[in-house]
Structure 1
Amino acid sequence: MESDLHPTNFPQLSQQLVDAVRFIGERQWCPATGGNFSARIDEQHCLITQSGKFKDQLTLDDLMISTMDNKAVDPALKPSAETGLHTKLYQLNPQIDCVLHTHSVHSTVLSRACGDKIVIQGYEMQKSLRGNTTHLDSIEVLVFDNDQDIDALAKRVEAKWHAGEITQPGFLVKGHGLYAWGNSVSEAKRHVEGFEFLFACLWQEKLLGKA
């Protein structure tokens, strides 16, 4: 992993990101080198996983540094094709310090079975998502149409963000998976776990004919 940037917390941040990605990979939430994961270094740079790496086997050498305008600090390394969506989220909210994108079966299939949003209500696990304090509330998770043009997708996310329609720390991309974030690697990981549990429950409800 290249770096001329050495903030005090750089080694700790790098290891936290690798540990979170391996945790996710071991649960088969991003098979076949899928998914991409990042952490903010400062206002101009983020760590992000290199393209084509198996996430359950990720090492520090599989991380790289990107600028917030999606340029690799080391041009010999290839960042994820979806880097632009990570950096857009960092630009939209300076409190976001980590973005995790998974490709789990439940999140991917559920995104295809729903419209432009998923409504969740009645699950205690809703409280794992920042800002939610009771299972009684109804929460909405937006679902965006997939797009191979990441800049176009990022602009649609930006429009919904400014319209105040993204109210949870994550959204789904149809037939693709989950993007979740947090103000630390630990919080983003918690949000991924919470979302993945909730999506699995919702899919089971559909199989039981209750949704």
Structure 2
Amino acid sequence: MIERPYSTADFREASRALAAIGQRIYGNGWSPATSSNYSVRLNDQYAAVTQSGKDKGMLRETDIMAVDMQGQAASAGKPSAETLLHTQLYRRYDKVGAVLHTHSHASTVLTMHWPANTITLDGYELLKALDGITTHESRLNIPVFDNTQDIAALADKVDAAMDNGDASHAYLIRGHGLYTWAADLPTCYRQLEALEVLLAIELDRRRLSGV
């Protein structure tokens, strides 16, 4: 028997949970085709993550693999280059237990049509679905990073922004999508759902007001 540096039972549980949440995200239209990636922390050194190129509408437990905190494969499968954006969060915050990344219509249009480096969500009741926010009288500034194929450099930019106090709950990549994270997968999904709905509302609001 091969001894693994993480619990096999934890990996199986994470794989089941990620496959199930992936179906839910796909059903909401936030992760079309092979876009997006999802992960769950296994321990301080390893995480379970979706493999590269897997259709999120047909995601199965066997489409999940293990990686170390440098994004290197620790089981069979090929990790996405974007895995480095997940492991950056796990390395930085030891309480982060799950990361979800989507490619929704709203996040793509908002960041492509409006060139600002921040999307601000202000005064929405649904902001209270995010950890630590207790009133609709809140403002969430979501930083927007330009898309690049140099994922390691992008991870460094995200880290630097966090050093400055930015990206408390999420960030966006221009023309690409949303990243959010939380202590566990159910909380992370709750935040993702709230953010995706709020981004869609914000897009409609801007269209209607002619901003």
For the criterion TM > 0.5, the same-fold answer is: yes
Corresponding residue for residue 52 of structure 2: 51
Q: Distance in 1 between matches of 2:131 and 2:108?
A: 22
**Deviation of the 1:210 alpha carbon:** 5.7
Structure 2: tracts of 5 or more residues without a match = none
Equivalent position SS for 2:194:
helix
State yes or no: 1:138 paired with 2:132. Answer: no
Please say if residues 3 and 65 of structure 1, whose CA atoms lie closer than 8 Å, have aligned partners that are also in contact. no
- 1:78 maps to 78
Q: How far apart in 2 are the matches of 1:101 and 1:194?
A: 14
Shift of 1:125: 0.5
Q: Which residue of 1 aligns with 2:31?
A: 30
Q: Secondary structure of 2:204's match? A: helix
Shift of the alpha carbon at 1:103? Answer: 0.1
Deviates more, 1:63-72 or 1:111-120: 111-120
* Structure 1 range deviating more: 65-74 or 194-203: 65-74
Question: Aligned partners of 1:85 and 1:137: how far apart in 2?
Answer: 27
* CA shift digits 1:179-200 (9 cap, x unpaired): 0111000011011101001000
Question: Aligned partners of 2:165 and 2:193: how far apart in 1?
Answer: 24
CA contact (8 A) 2:144 2:174 kept: yes
The 2-side partners of 1:77 and 1:120 are apart by 38
Match for residue 21 of structure 1?
22
Paired residues of 1:100 and 1:189 also in contact (CA < 8 A): yes
Tell me the CA shift for residue 177 of structure 1.
0.3
Change (3 A) 1:114 1:195: farther
Aligned length: 208
The Cα offsets for residues 67-124 of structure 1, whole Å up to 9 and x where unpaired, read as 11111013x5211120111000111101111010000000111122241111111211
C-alpha spacing 1:98/1:92, structure 2 compared with 1 (3 Å): same
Whichever residue aligns with residue 181 of structure 1, its letter is W
Deviation at 1:159, TM superposition (A): 0.4
Deviation at 1:27, TM superposition (A): 1.5
How many angstroms does 1:11 deviate by? 3.0
1:189 aligns with 2:189: yes
Equivalent positions of 1:57-72 (< 5 A) are 57-72=58-73
Aligned equivalents of 2:165, 2:123: Cα separation in 1: 23
Secondary structure of the residue aligned to 1:132 is coil
Distance in 1, Cα, partners of 2:109 & 2:72: 32
How many Å apart are 1:8 and its aligned residue?
5.1
Counterpart check, 1:175 vs 2:178? no
1:128 corresponds in structure 2 to 129
Structure 1 residues 78 and 10: alpha-carbon distance in aligned structure 2, compared to 1, 3 A threshold = closer
The residue aligned with 1:163 is 164
Structure 1's unaligned 5+ residue stretches are none
- With the length of structure 1 as denominator, give the TM-score of the two structures: 0.93
Q: CA RMSD in A?
A: 1.6
